[in-house]
Amino acid sequence: MCGILAIIGKGVELQKAKQLSNRMNHRGPNEHDIQVTENGHILAHERLSIIDLHTGKQPIQGCSTAYMVHNGEIYNHKELRETELKDHKFRTKSDSEVIVHLYEKYGYDFLNKLDGVFAFVVIDGDDFIAGRDPIGIKPLYYGKDADDRLYFSSEMKAIADQCVSFEAFPPGHYYTPKTGLVRYYKPDWFKDSVATEELDLKLIRDTLIKATKKRLMTDVPLGVLLSGGLDSSLTSSIASRLLKEEGKELHSFSIGLDSDSPDLKAAQKVADFLGTKHHAITFTIEEGLEVIDKLIWHLETYDVTSIRASTPMYIMSKYITNLGVKVVLSGEGADEMLGGYLYFGDAPSNKEFQKETIRRVQLLSTSDCLRADKSTMSHGLEARVPFLDKEFLDVIMKTQPKYKMHETYDGVEKYILRKAFDTKEDPFLPQEVLWRQKEQFSDGVGYSWIDTLIEYCANQITDEQMSQAHIKYPHNTPSTKEAYYIREIFHKHFPQDDAAKTVLKWIPKWQENTDPSGRANKKHIKADVHIAKEKVA
């Protein structure tokens, strides 16, 4: 993974472009390079070396005049090299290079051929194309300065003070000067009416195993983020099995408050079961509060639930990179596609349940994907998310919603995922973990983390400030003192109106209490004592 910057248009000094790119140095601490094209456009790259450690430096030139920068991983790059691009001459062994060659062969129409995650810009003379992966797992922003130059960057901080207007680049789109924005990713499941497939537990299991296997592609040490919840435990179990076949050891990492963490207890149980080399990391509430300012600068959001959950993830990521691990698997996406959050249990109908899963998946780039990417990349750590594999998404999103509804199984959420991996002969997980109730990450690290954060923020913000909140912040007006405190820090780092408009707030539906914590839902039961009962499908 990396940080990319592209400036389309002449007149920006090279040193200035280097300074802007350097604001994202945390994303790529291994190599830095910059290219000024013959027409005066600029491409810059901050590299985190994951694949092809020795020759994969970017920008990369294609066979002729096109240059490219890319942030992400292309999992089918070897297949593309050996088939559609077998006549092309490659300069590197990097997975990224296939992008520029696909452009040279197909022009703009190639993004659906990519299996992976990406944000990229290809410049060819005065022509160019910028694109972002289907779900928005990798971040990308774009804007225009006062001289009509276009900017593209992995993070907002690189361009916010250079552009008179900017915004987040939409997932599943590409942009060219001839076409403007074009949506290339248009799966059938965007329509709730196509969720008509019968339940196939074996297909669910096989497809997730396949999705996890391709994400083990790396030339550097790999680990798993193991919260002890269902999603991270399953990816850890699958990865552990696959790596054992190759004689490799798997590192697992969990984090929590020493005295008050449901996740630490569950994660240790999973690690013991799988035989991973486990690292249980603890943090104090004081340490969490100390990093919030820097965290908000990294995350570029004021969404309350993102900040709550990102704090332990940010602290854990530093620990992981200090050990020399550069890639981790993470469980993002399962709750959105399967309706795993407890508020989904209040859905009024199958149709509304399905519509909400579609909406949540389409918004992942503003919430969990943003958190997973920027919390880890703040320390040069790459997070990979098997649940958001395109093929696995298709399987789950096309399955009839009645099989995903909580009420179908007496309130058990994500039942079909649990059941798919409930293999009695060769169990993937202990039963008490496989059937553990959903615990949102910010809760699972320890309930007192959120409780103390709320109390701390309440002491920093006055009632008078809250009464004037709608005047100071007319867009997404903070409704709590916690939200106001976080917004103040965000505004300090990113005072532009356009910056505030890039943020969407995570708000649960169908419940009276709109606090994003899972504990706000009436169905929540304290996690260390609650195990769901297995039902017969």
Residue closest to 415 by CA, chosen among 201, 262, 241: 201
CA distances from 435 to 228, 234, 346, 529 (A): 11, 12, 20, 12
Using CA atoms, how far apart are residues 183 and 107, in angstroms rounded to an integer?
16
- Helix crossing, 390-398 with 350-362: angle to 10°? 160
Contact 245, 349 (CB under 8 A): no
Q: Which of 2, 163, 369, 457 is catalytic?
A: 2
Contacting residues for 48 by C-beta, under 8 A, at least 6 apart: 1, 2, 27, 28, 29, 30, 326, 377, 380, 382
Q: Which DSSP string do the residues of 442-463 spell out, in sequence order?
A: HHHT-HHHHHHHHHHHHHHS-H
Q: Which DSSP string do the residues of 289-348 spell out, in sequence order?
A: HHHHHHHHHHH----HHHHHHHHHHHHHHHHHHHTT--EEE--TTHHHHHT-SGGGGG-S
CA distances from 42 to 11, 16, 35 (A): 10, 11, 6
CB atoms within 10 A of CB 263: 26
* Annotation marks residue 63 as catalytic: no
| Residues labelled as active-site residues | 2
